[in-house]
Amino acid sequence: MAHVYPKFFFEDHLTDAEHASLVVTSSAVLYGLSVYTVFPVCVTVDDKLAAFRLQDHFKRLLDSAKIIGMDDFEKHWTYSRFESAVKELVSQNHVTEDVFIRASVHVNEHVPGTRSRGLKNTLSMFIYDATPIVPQNGARLKTSVWRRIPDYAIPSRAKVNGAYVNSVLAKQDAIDSGYDDCIFLDGQGHVCELSAANIFLVRNAELITPDNSSDLLEGINRKTVLEIAKELGIPIRETTVDLTELYIADEVFACGTSAYIAPVIEVDARVIANGKIGPITSKIKDLHHQLLHGVNINKVDLLTYL
């Protein structure tokens, strides 16, 4: 289990963990009616703390809440207020290493029925160890027996807590079968993503990833990978991806805040290429690490120093 830092942000102030609670009658508990984002805070090369793409993560909270119809959050929270809360949380927890922060917006109304508008929203944030959710030295994936929830059922672009039961079922099936994580397919059998990370493959020196119509989360690190590849001059194709394309790929990797850049060496008991981390994956992984830690001085605008 991850180590969780003692001070939480809840509603509009810092508090201890035992006071950052939602009652069992709230919509967040009854229906999973919360949205969230996770972002890294890293120690930079100049020994400062910085959050990566914090504005993008705040916008994702806003967008997720808007999609679900949680209209109270935007009325009370601006980006500047959110950034101040993050700074206070990090300072009071005396962070000295790379960590993750999970920020959630909960519908904190008691037994309101199955609705979302006009209800009280509560922001929570907590800090925990930056432990990757996917092995960083070569992950083994299994195609899930569970299909990805389609966007027309629960919106893929919104990070809705309740929807992650889908991911739990799929990843647990993979773990039970001896794998590290799963690959979700959509209703048409096309590749979507992992349980909580986007997926890329390389064929003939071209970077390929499922497009935004493939029932996937429009990941912030997915966006970062595409930007890195563009700067490196790597051809990019966003399209529908068949499962068998992964089997014969030259390289496969996953990406996400909690997955970082995770090379994939096996899919459905099929070794990817020579079973080693490929050159494009390795280069993107290295540059991604540099961005998180402020090594690339041309990209420090992606960091919010805390």
In order of their start, the domains of the chain are 7-129 (3.30.470.10), 139-292 (3.20.10.10)
Q: How far is CA 271 from CA 16, 81, 145, 241, in A?
A: 47, 48, 20, 18
The pLDDT tens digits of the residues spanning 271-302 come to 999 999 999 999 999 999 999 999 987 888 99
Helix (H) or strand (E) holding 84: helix 79-92
Q: Which of 65, 66, 56 is nearest to 106 (CA)?
A: 65
Mean model confidence pLDDT for the chain:
97
The pLDDT tens digits of the residues spanning 159-205 come to 999 999 999 999 999 999 999 999 999 999 999 999 999 999 999 99
- pTM value? 0.96
Task: Please report the pLDDT score of residue 66 as a whole number.
Answer: 98
The pLDDT tens digits of the residues spanning 106-134 come to 999 999 999 999 999 999 999 999 999 99
Strand partners, 206: 203
Q: How far is CA 270 from CA 160, 191, 223, 247, in A?
A: 33, 16, 28, 6
Say if residue 152's pLDDT is above 80.
yes
**Tokens 């990209």 belong to which residue?**
299
Task: Please report the pLDDT score of residue 1 as a whole number.
Answer: 78
Count of alpha carbons within 13 angstroms of residue 107, beta-carbon side: 30
pLDDT tier at 18 (50, 70, 90 boundaries)? very high
pLDDT tier at 15 (50, 70, 90 boundaries)? very high
Would you say 159 and 103 are in contact if contact means Cβ atoms under 8 Å apart? no
Task: Please report the pLDDT score of residue 297 as a whole number.
Answer: 76
Say if residue 6's pLDDT is above 80.
yes
Strand partners, 271: 266
